[in-house]
Amino acid sequence: MSSVPAATILGFPRMGSNRQLKKAVEAFWASKISESELLDRTKQLRKEHWELQASLGLKQVPVGDFSFYDHMLDHAVLFGIVPERYNVTKPGLECYFAMARGLQAPDRGIDVPSLEMVKWFDTNYHYMVPQIAENQTFALDSTKIIDELREALALGLDARPVVVGPVTFLKLSKTASGAGSTLSYLPQILPLYVELIKQLVAEGAKWVQLDEPVLALDIDAETQEAYRTAYAELAKISGAQYLVATYFAGLEDNLELAASLPIQALHLDLVRNPEQLEGALKAVPESVVLSLGVINGRNIWKADLSKGLELINTAAKARPADKLIINSSCSLLHTPHSLDAETELDAELKNWLAFSTEKIAEIVVLSRALHEGVDAVKAELDANAAAIQSRRTSDRVSNPAVKSRVVSLKESDFSRNNEFSVRQAAQHDKYKLPLFPTTTIGSFPQTSDIRRNRARFRKSEITAEQYQEYLETATRECIEWQDNIGIDVLVHGEFERNDMVEFFGENLSGFAFTRNGWVQSYGSRCVKPPVIYGDVSRTRPITVETAKFAQTCSPKPVKGMLTGPVTILQWSFVRDDQPRSETCKQIALAIRDEVVDLETAGTTIIQVDEPAIREGLPLRKSGWDDYLEWSVDSFRLATAGVVDSTQIHTHMCYSEFNTIFPAIQRMDADVITIENAKSDLKLLHAFEHHGYKAEIGPGLYDIHSPRVPSVQEMKERVRKMLNYLSPQLLWINPDCGLKTRGWEEVRSSLTNLVEVARELRKEY
């Protein structure tokens, strides 16, 4: 066995310390740089990242974790899984980005939508779903990962290629028809994995990392057998050493299966499930190296190194040090690059945090403690212990009044006054909306002019009065435009908001904000999650004055727009010193106060977005009931304080409703809009199967793509929806908010959307 790396990580953030990847890719899309310049910039970025990891003390660096857009999309290209519709594009990056974003080029007769996009397990990262044709011909194109391996080796680094394992890759893919098991393609794709790994070994890879997070989920007999078959075949390759990485959950009932695989190293996520170590030490053969994921790759809190050392010492009593790897729990893709840029955080709070580069330093300290003894890193361990104690005892973390309010909640605080049918009658009588009412999800394009004025205000280059005047002008123009084209329920555009979670966090206690704490959400889209460090409460109204102004701009109803408590929780870096359910109820009470104040001020259609409620599900079904109880209760707590005629909307993304449909019904929203355009209407089967009595707006077009849908295209989608839904319940809307789109495409798309509703009203 080649030397075992003492310290490593499963992957590193792609974007760069200053979002260099985002800027390069978007410049390429805008034709401001050439393909060769894009390739040069990203090659330099990879070099910087690898050299940084090595300088921090990692003994082996991952390669192949870089992507122009998404690693699952990279693997689709790697294995030749390119749907036929993309054959009209140029091979290479044009085809790749067409699969990612869709492509409209009327002068060339090209109009292709993107692949489906869904959440990566229970994270806020999105991946593109490979679509396997019925008679798929697989073909290996290993250029990207081989080139990146060569780049790292040329720098004199010990480089470990990262590949999504064959079973996880197929399980996360879909068939073009939506029917049948993707695992049936294992015999065709497995030879390509064999050839790929042979090439990597020939190029000098001492280890190959195969990511198999599906191995830590609830899996059936077919999947278990697929693991045995795949790894028996991969084990035949001479010179190949495999680190199989499981993460986001514990192996639990799959431990015996994992322990039986003919591999050289097994990675355990000991942050999500530290209890699995004891069983693994007994079940996994002593010849197999254990990779201990003791540093959290999902959160930004400084690790308690003493607890990490306890786990490492437990392992070291059963295994020699050279049979242990100190590692991150998962890829650091989900954490920001470095704390170096955080010059505006106060010293106390900053001392509680660790971003990706700081997490690598923690891994190295723990590795040195294992191999050199704790005295060699005593100063580092003492500093860590002081930081942990500082956070534990700080007065800013706890608010007794907030805790008391949660404890005092009554059962009636979680329910509306009457059932939906009574509320619906009151709402129809009040709003008198037409059949197939039209609306949007909330945000409108955040133009460079909007971002520039926001930045000028924050830098005090314009006064608060000037900035408010600018926002009111933008809001009025947005509302008047919606009114003029015939949208029925309007929105104010959210021009005052930097991000749907960050904006609310900035107006709640217990939140802190970073200057450069960006993480990738999808493609070039980055978000900067707030940090919830203490008890949460609302100290003043947040959106009420904006909503009051917006309503003066039109006689039509203008929705109040709020982010729901579960989404604020899920899309933040959450404190880990109390149950997430407790923090979520605190946020729910803050949003409830805002909902009630909006209603009092005259805004009586209120949307409380919960796009993240599905992604918060525990990956093991054994934890679902508890999560769904407190998450749905939190939404109900936030929305139950209003009268019957006040209409509560919510919006949800990427939700496979069949699995959680009773919980969706229990949310008791009056109108639910769902992201649906990428799903081939599969979500609507849940509504047919279970029945749904409230009103619903399945998205008619994909806002993640710049392409403009035609009237006919959207109308056909509605016709299919009407096979499942009553016309009296159906709303007409896009998939999601329009923040990331340009005004030209938004105007065309929404004009077409309104025309769809007009034509349908003539038919029903």
**Is 90 exceeded by the pLDDT of residue 437?**
yes
Residue 514: what residue type? T
Q: How far apart are CA 667 and CA 573, in angstroms?
A: 25
Instruction: Quickly name the fold that domain 20-62+153-393 has.
Output: TIM Barrel (3.20.20)
306 CB neighbour count, 10 Å cutoff? 12
State the Cα angle at 533 between 532 and 539, rounded to 5°: 70
| pLDDT above 80 (res 590) | yes
Report the alpha-carbon distance of residue 405 to residue 581 in Å, rounded: 14
Gap between the terminal Cα atoms of the chain: 71
In this prediction, residues 638-648 reach a mean pLDDT of: 98
What is 403-447+485-763's CATH number, 3.10.20.30, 3.20.20.210, 3.40.50.300, 1.10.10.10? 3.20.20.210
**229 close to 252: Cβ distance less than 8 angstroms:** no
- pLDDT tens digit string along 221-261? 999 999 999 999 999 999 999 999 999 999 999 999 999 99
- For the chain, give every domain's residue range: 20-62+153-393, 403-447+485-763
Per-residue tokens: 529: 């999650």
Distances (CA, A) of 740 to 292, 477, 524, 714, 750: 39, 18, 11, 21, 15
Q: CA torsion, points 330, 336, 337, 339, in degrees to nearest 10? A: -120
Using pLDDT thresholds of 50, 70 and 90, give the confidence band for residue 2: low
CA-to-CA separations, 396 to 348, 533, 590, in angstroms, rounded = 10, 8, 18
Residues, the chain: 764
Residues recognised as catalytic: 704
Give CA–CA dist 259/317, Å, rounded.
Answer: 19
Query: Mean pLDDT for the chain?
Result: 95
| Cβ contact 225:173 at 8 Å | no
CA angle 197, 335, 344 (to 5 degrees): 150
- Are the C-beta atoms of residues 562 and 641 closer than 8 Å to each other? no
Nearest CA-CA partner of 710 in 88, 113, 128, 87: 113
Which distant-in-sequence residues (6+ apart) come within 8 Å of 214 by Cβ?
165, 167, 168, 171, 172, 223
Pure H helices in 292-418: 305-318, 347-350, 356-372, 378-393, 400-407
pLDDT of 654 over the 60 cut: no
Sign of the C-alpha dihedral computed for residues 291, 294, 297 and 302 taken in this order? negative
Q: What pTM value is reported for the model?
A: 0.91
Tell me the C-alpha distance between 424 and 240, whole Å.
Answer: 63
Query: What percent of the chain lies above the pLDDT cut of 70?
Result: 98
Convert the pLDDT of each residue in 369-385 to its tens digit. Answer: 999 999 999 999 999 99
Segment 357-367, tens digit of pLDDT: 999 999 999 99
Residues 6+ apart with CB under 8 A from 606: 559, 560, 562, 595, 598, 599, 639, 642, 646, 647, 648, 649
Query: Is the pLDDT reported for residue 658 higher than 80?
Result: no
Nearest one of 440, 423, 489 to 609, comparing CA atoms: 440
Please provide the DSSP assignment of 496-539 as one string.
T-S-TTHHHHTTEEEEE--SS--EEEETTEEE---EEEEEEEE-
